[in-house]
Amino acid sequence: MSSKACTFLPLGAVIQKFVVNGTNIVQGFPTAELYKQYNAPYFGETIGRIANRVSKGKINELNGRSYQLPINNGPNSLHGGNKGWGKREFEGPFSVERSGKQATFFKYLSADGEEGYPGTVEARVWYVQEQEVIQGAQQEVLHIEFEVELVGDEVGETAINMTNHSYFNLTGGPSITGTDVTLITNKYQVVDDGGIPTGPIEEYPGVMPNKTFTLGEAKPDIDDCFVVNTDPKTISIDTRTSPLQKIASFYHPDSKIHLEIHSTEPAFQFYTGKYIDVPAVDSLPPRGPRSGFCVEPSRCVNAINIPEFKHTMLLKKGEKYGSKIMHIHRMINRVRPQSLASLAWYDDVIEVHRFPHKYQKLNVYSNQKLIWLGPAHSVWKAGLTCVLMLFSNPNHMVVRERHSPDSSIKFFSLGTPIKLTVASEQRKKPESTLCRGNTLLDGVEGLANSFKLWMIVEQLLPSAVHSHHILGSFHARSSSRRSHSVYGQGRIPSVSLPMSRDGDVFS
């Protein structure tokens, strides 16, 4: 189903709006004239010819010579120069068909010598908007496709690196504070004070792959290029033949808006907006530091001057530069452990179930740590069951819960699917549950009249995610008292879990 969540402008082929559930989640301006006057941060722009920085504004070797570019960011050239593609008028929008879908198309002819770059090239941008409904939840999807050809005869090769420079704010408010962030990688290009790589690709301090962290009022302050593919030999000038890969996801509990960024590109700049400084204009309030964050899929910084990465930006006559980006937005409920009303940690591995049955023996086949969340109510009725069915696709997980007699569906965004198997001796068959990234939601059978009992699993070690050895077994017993006994074996401790009266922590 096509969608009209986004609006675009010919100036810079800008993404002007992206509306999710009534909230515009990208920074921008109501008119093209205001973009011309105030868009120093590059809100929503299509960036080219080279996104990010070029060291000292110089392409060292191309067509047997060097090329000097405008210096507009300290000692370096940034985002295509003084008037890069984001500041240029594209032709369009045109309504076209792209891969069998309705698309909005823009194109721009960049002349030889523009901003110092060699060769006449034609840049093309396609936007495809879709709306999906999955298990009752609406999902807005924006596909972005870039393509460039060297169409002039002036030179035999040029340099290209495109991206989109949208700033996201999932609440539409003045700040990105409170946004949960999950990045697929913590490998990044170490840079000097001017943002130019110094050589090594290392692990970013304080960031773990697929591990969620939350943006505060000032920290973490990030403006770095994270590297998804560290092997330049496998990167071509046209990455569209590579599969789209989720590189980052974001969530804010106030709006319950979830954002995923997918791309075919080998790297992405993640910027938390420290230097945004836009005054109040028209009907818009001022936009200051950390009023938006950017995820800019692209090639590595200054790749055209790094021998082993140069070919990833080198466009030759007869070839096509290409890349794809996909933005997925939806409304979800998501567990945030730091805000839960009832939460208990246990050493090593422990699986806590409440059953109306007298005893239940379980074996856990995964090197995981579990958190127990108390139920919202303490009413137990034998014979009633809470059934949870978990589904997964590459984009999301759906948890369906049924409390007799009512039924409801909730959505949780949890990262890459991982399978945890729990063997139940009573049922005589394995019970499998899906988790995503470092977090798993495991539903509980047994219970009770309209309360919710969940467990969250977090991995202890990244290398242990796919480990499937028995770590221990234990008995779980429900009782009429307002507590629950768990009997440990081996390294699993015996504990007593008080029941929670704090209400539904997920609403």
The helix or strand, by DSSP H or E, that contains position 34, with its residue range, turns out to be helix 32-38
Here the tokens at position 83 are 């008037």
Q: Report the distance separating Cα 350 and Cα 175, nearest Å.
A: 39
Task: Give the DSSP per-residue string, 195-248.
Answer: S-EEEEEEEPTT--TT--EE--SS-S--EEEEES---GGG--SBGGGSPPEEEE
Here the tokens at position 258 are 């979830």
Angle at 30 (CA atoms; ends 27, 35), nearest 5 degrees: 70
Which strands sit side by side in the sheet containing 213-214, from one edge to the other?
91-98, 101-110, 121-134, 137-150, 320-331, 257-263, 245-252, 180-183, 213-214
Residue 477 amino acid letter: R
Q: Report the distance separating Cα 465 and Cα 438, nearest Å.
A: 8
Here the tokens at position 268 are 């992405």
- Provide the annotated active-site residues: 165
**CB contact at 8 A, 231 and 90:** no
**Residue written as token pair 């629950």:** 484
